[in-house]
Amino acid sequence: MTLANFGLYGLGTMGTALAHNIAENGFNLHVASYRKVDMDSFVANAPAFEGNFTGHDSLADMVRDMPAPRAIIFLIPAGQAVEEAIAQARPHMQPGDVLIDAGNSDFQDTRRRAADLEASGLAYMGMGVSGGEFGARTGPSMMVGGTASVWEAMRPMLEAISAKFEGEPCVDHVGPDGAGHFVKTVHNGIEYADMQLLAESYGLMRHGLTISPAEIGAEFERWNNGPMRSYLAEISAEVLQTIDPKTDKPLVDVIVDTAGQKGTGRWTAIEAQKLGVAANTVEAAVGARVWSAGREARAVGEEIFAPTRGTVAVTTAQIEHAALATRIIGHSQGFDLLSSASDEFGWDLDLSRCAEIWRAGCIIRSELLSGIADAFRNAPPAGLLAYAPEMAATLKDAVPALRAVVGAAIAAGHPVPVMTAALAWFDGMTQSRGTADLIQGQRDFFGRHSFARVDGGSGHHGPWAD
């Protein structure tokens, strides 16, 4: 199978950036959007590639006018817009054609759509794309789900436009049907935890150590030369050192402190719950965004309780170590979720490859990912990244700082939900005997749910009165 006729539907920020990237890599591209494409404005930012593009008035027109076999990439919002685009394209497609959903779709939708289209001989791929507008333009990380033969047909183009880590393309076929969108969803769940742990570090330095935003930015810049090196640390440093031209104040001080979310972090937490995987760092990060959005209620709470936010007796180096331990645990939970989903849906995900294709182009690219790829090549104990020898050595070194930071933060009234979640997971997962013996006793007491005994057998009951 070869594919040479590419179309792209959806010329918003991401679609336009990806279209320019595709053209820059020497491919011709048919383009269409919700509205008739204004080719003059579309090529305005990339006049050199004008000859590579053919504009169409609608998706249906584009599919009809393109020679077969066609590969059409959607860069449109997840949900109803994808349903409508499939409905418009489908009547004009023929066996051998491919639709590629490159948005942040729910993997269950992708599984359903792939099964539906494949039943009529059409191919459907769910492709996670990370890196924002800049990544889409200059090289994103891409996680491809779908049939292997279609991936092979798309591969030369996708490898050409992808980010490169030391020359290696940051794109791969991760598995069938919804696997690509699931891997991207978990990428975003990890992204939520990572963003929040940096926000918590910032909060502690700002309000617990009374350091200015610019100095915290400079501290993050230092982090970015060590084991916390990451794209998110880098941009946080820049955001914190930016001055608002209108007020001359640090820009962060004029940004309303309510975080938006489109759903992928929440989906990660929900899928973790469904699959019985602990992802409490992601849950905590989603929860923190939720309460950030309750701005008015927070103001009322402040009035009622007049809380005092005290100083914290920790160093910035301890906060950096706490952040590193939290990052490792957040990633460990994310990869554990990938592993469980792979078993559940029969995807045969290669966790090392997932880490490798996240090393450049994507939002969570970081120093840690090469070590993660190595860790999964050597099957970590109990399948958990946090137990892999190199990660465990770092955690042994960093958890005391995490404990000190979380302890000091809680004592002084600073919320650090993701760091707290990471530490709770660590403490829970490093004790062979926990406290669920009482939970089982309670369950048996009120519901005769039974329990297993340490000296053998299950189905036991306590001698409770009826």
* CB closer to ligand 6PG, 136 vs 322: 136
CB of 181 to ligand 6PG, least distance (A): 11
The verdict on 224 binding ligand 6PG (CB under 6 A) reads no
| Torsion, CA 319, CA 337, CA 361, CA 12, rounded to 10 | -110
Min dist. Cβ of residue 364 to ligand 6PG (A): 8
Minimal distance in Å, beta carbon 105 to ligand 6PG? Answer: 11
Contacting ligand 6PG within 97-156 (CB under 6 A): 104, 130-132
Half-sphere exposure (Cβ direction) of 369: Cα atoms closer than 13 Å = 23
Burial 305-339 (b: 16+ CB within 10 A, else e): eeeeeeebebebebbbbbbbbbbbbbbbbbbbbbb
Closest CB 234 distance from ligand 6PG, rounded Å? 15
Report the alpha-carbon distance of residue 296 to residue 316 in Å, rounded.
Answer: 32
Active-site pick, 164, 168, 191, 303: 191
Sheet holding 123-130, edge to edge: 53-55, 29-32, 5-9, 70-74, 98-101, 123-130, 141-145, 171-175
Instruction: Work out whether 161 is an interface residue with ligand 6PG (CB under 6 A).
Output: no
Binders in 265-284 for ligand 6PG, by CB under 6 A:
265
Binding of ligand 6PG by 264 (CB under 6 A): yes
Regarding 333 and contact with ligand 6PG (CB under 6 A), the answer is no
Rounded to a whole number of angstroms, the minimum distance from the CB of residue 211 to ligand 6PG is 26
Q: Are 131 and 108 in contact (CB under 8 A)?
A: no
Q: Which is nearer to ligand 6PG, 192 or 376 (CB)?
A: 192
Among 260, 276, 456, 463, binds ligand 6PG (CB under 6 A): 260
Task: Please count the residues of the chain.
Answer: 466
Contacting residue, 261, 340, 370, 440, with ligand 6PG by CB under 6 A: 261
What is the total count of residues that contact ligand 6PG (CB under 6 A)?
A: 13
Q: State yes or no: residue 55 binds ligand 6PG (CB under 6 A).
A: no
Q: Which amino acid is at 83?
A: E
Q: Is residue 191 part of the contact set for ligand 6PG (CB under 6 A)?
A: yes
- Distances in Å between the alpha carbon of 306 and those of 298, 302, 310, 413? 11, 5, 13, 11
In sign, the C-alpha dihedral spanning 416, 217, 187, 404 is negative
Closest C-alpha among 15, 148, 143 to residue 74: 15
Quote the least distance from Cβ 188 to ligand 6PG, whole Å.
5
Residue closer to ligand 6PG by CB (options 262, 460) is 262
Stretch that binds ligand 6PG, among 83-91, 254-262, 394-402, 441-449 (CB under 6 A): 254-262
The residues near 16 (Cβ < 8 Å, ≥ 6 apart) are: 42, 45
Q: Which stretch binds ligand 6PG (CB under 6 A): 30-38, 154-162, 258-266, 352-360?
A: 258-266
Distance of CA 41 to the CA centre of its chain: 32
Indicate the residue whose CB is closest to ligand 6PG.
Answer: 130
Q: Cα–Cα distance between 94 and 59 in angstroms, integer? A: 15
In angstroms, rounded to a whole number, what is the distance separating the alpha carbons of residues 365 and 358?
6
- Helical (H) or strand (E) element with 54: strand 53-55
Q: State yes or no: is 367 an active-site residue.
A: no
Considering the complex, what minimum distance in angstroms separates the CB of residue 100 from ligand 6PG?
16
Query: Cα angle vertex 82, ends 78, 87, to 5°?
Result: 165
Could you give the CA distance from residue 396 to residue 94 in angstroms, rounded to a whole number? 57
Instruction: Single out the catalytic residue among 184, 200, 271, 356.
Output: 184
- Confirm whether 219 is a catalytic residue: no
Nearest CB to ligand 6PG, comparing residues 182 and 426: 182
Segment 354 to 383, residues that bind ligand 6PG, using CB under 6 A: 362-363
Contact status: 188 vs ligand 6PG (CB under 6 A): yes
Q: Which residues pair with 123 in a beta bridge?
A: 98
Please, what is the minimum distance in Å from the beta carbon of residue 103 to ligand 6PG?
9
CA 68 – CA 148 distance, rounded (Å):
20
In the complex with ligand 6PG, the residue whose CB is nearer, 132 or 310, is 132
Chain contacts with ligand 6PG (rule: CB under 6 A): 104, 130-132, 188, 191, 260-262, 264-265, 362-363
Residues recognised as catalytic: 184, 191
